[in-house]
Amino acid sequence: MITILEGKESYQLNAKKRQLIKHSGAEGENVIVIDASSRTGFSMEATLNLCSTISLFGDRRVVLLSNPYFLKSGGSTSEKTSRSKKSAKKTPAEILDQYCLSPNPDTDLIFLCDGYLCDKRTKEYKILSAHAGKTVSIITFSNPSPWEMDALIRRELDARGFQLSQDALEELKLRISDSATEFYRTLDKMELYGETQFDRAAIAGLVSYNPEVNVWKLSDAFVKGNASTTMETWYELREHASLDVYGILPTLTYRLKRLYCVRRCYEVGMSMEEIKSRTGQGFPDKDLDSCGGHSSGWFLHRLKELAEIDQGMKTGRLDGTSSLELFLLRNLNHGR
């Protein structure tokens, strides 16, 4: 069998890889991992010759191509120059197509695309997908939607008997940032922790600090008028050496601009599908829930203030840190 494992959710992807290897029954030297991440040193012909070799003792074999370059954008094995008409030598793509027609039943060939989706424009992917459902299986591990992520969190926490306080649950969701991979890694840490009940402090200690996620936490608390969480997050960001106001301001501006666009589209009567198409946001209803009841005009005024801070920083007229802190305090005090 030939299998493509692709996607950004590395934890589940690698779990599936281990499951496939175990199911095949191949062990030890019969599990062959080949680095296919670059053209240098990789040969499609040699690899498929290895796959085609019949085992004298009927042993199962797994050949795993790690991060094949020819399934990435711009990484096709096809040569730019055309072959001579007199040449009978087959191209790597043609060799792959021939193998897909009749793969060795004693060998499982796995294309492991860890952390990325295959480029569907490559000749190799087109060949493999043409055999999908016959000799090729394509398994994709995509980022879950917010609703799927919520269901996954509830299901896995219940299955392991973990109990989280409400603020701990919110902290967990914030820090994993809708990543199933990060969630499963956190579950592994929670298993090692040896407890079943977790508060916010415990979750904060278990899950790695992510400054960019904290900027989103800052913006959400700011929009909802939560002064305590806004300023607490602001001081956490200031203490984190890898992110200063030059890193905070663009992300905060992007977040408010995104909410403005969704809110404005909603105000003029667009449907959720129309908003999704116009703004490119996958879940506009989630963004609307995050608007805190503000009008698009409120967001527009805040964006104008942030633009003035940005220009003041560039010209040297304003100190970015104090100006952004005053921006937060002023608008939190004024409310809506």
Residue 106 DSSP symbol: T
| Domain termination residue (choose one: 115, 141, 167) | 141
Which residues are CB-contacts of 162 (< 8 A; sequence separation ≥ 6)? Answer: 190, 196, 197, 198
Give the whole-angstrom CA distance, residue 204 versus residue 298: 32
| Domain termination residue (choose one: 126, 141, 156) | 141
| Domain termination residue (choose one: 141, 162, 197) | 141
Neighbouring C-beta atoms of residue 69, cutoff 10 Å: 19
216 and 202 within one domain: no
231 and 259 within one domain: yes
Total number of domains constituting the chain: 3
Tell me the pLDDT band of 98, cut-offs 50, 70 and 90: very high
189-221: pLDDT as tens digits? 898 888 899 998 888 888 876 666 778 888 888
27-62: pLDDT as tens digits? 888 899 999 998 888 999 999 999 998 776 668 899
Lowest average pLDDT, out of 140-144, 154-158, 279-283, goes to 279-283
Give the whole-angstrom CA distance, residue 163 versus residue 202: 12
Q: What is the CATH number of the domain that holds 153?
A: 1.10.8
Q: What is the CATH number of the domain that holds 110?
A: 3.40.50.300
131 and 52 within one domain: yes
277 and 156 within one domain: no
Kindly tell me the number of DSSP H helices and DSSP E strands found in the chain: 15, 7
Beta-strand pair 136-141/163-164: unpaired
245 and 279 within one domain: yes
222-253: pLDDT as tens digits? 998 889 888 988 887 877 655 678 888 888 89
Question: Contact at 8 Å (CB) between 22 and 194?
Answer: no
Alpha helices in 25-161 (DSSP H): 44-52, 92-101, 123-130, 146-160
121 and 65 within one domain: yes
* Residue 47 tokens, joined: 């690899």
- The domain of 155 spans 146-206
Total-model pTM: 0.60
Question: How large is the average pLDDT for residues 53-72?
Answer: 85
Which residues are CB-contacts of 211 (< 8 A; sequence separation ≥ 6)? Answer: 237, 240, 242, 243, 247
Q: What is the CATH number of the domain that holds 322?
A: 1.20.272.10
Question: Contact at 8 Å (CB) between 71 and 101?
Answer: no
222 and 135 within one domain: no
